[in-house]
Amino acid sequence: MDSQAPHKLLIELQEELKKTNFSDPATKEKMMNIVALIDKSVANQPIEKAHRNELVRSLRESLFHLEVSHPAITATVNNIIYTLNNMGI
């Protein structure tokens, strides 16, 4: 697996979030928190089980809420989930 893949996907997600107009500011804040969790996960920092579980839960919740209204973000989050899973995170 390309070691830069998670970083590329994270940048892609950040770019999608920047250009997306969210009707609910809380949704954008939640997505930015997810970006921070992903960033910590791919920065080769030790990952605690609770952190990993929070990341997985947050990613799944974001997919559920965004799949209809923001398909580009949903696709990027799906790619991140797949990549993190392959990394063992």
pLDDT in tens, 3-31: 577 788 888 888 888 888 888 888 888 88
Place of tokens 């790619």: 79
What are the tens digits of pLDDT across the range 39-74? Answer: 877 776 666 777 778 777 887 887 777 777 788 888
Global pTM value: 0.68
- The domain containing residue 76 runs over which residues? 5-87
Split into its structural domains, the chain has a count of 1
Q: Using DSSP, state whether 23 is helix, strand or coil.
A: coil
Between vectors from CA 60 to CA 41 and to CA 34, what angle results, nearest 5°? 40
Q: Are 30 and 62 in contact (CB under 8 A)?
A: yes
Q: What distance in Å separates the CA atoms of residue 57 and residue 39, rounded to the nearest whole number?
A: 16
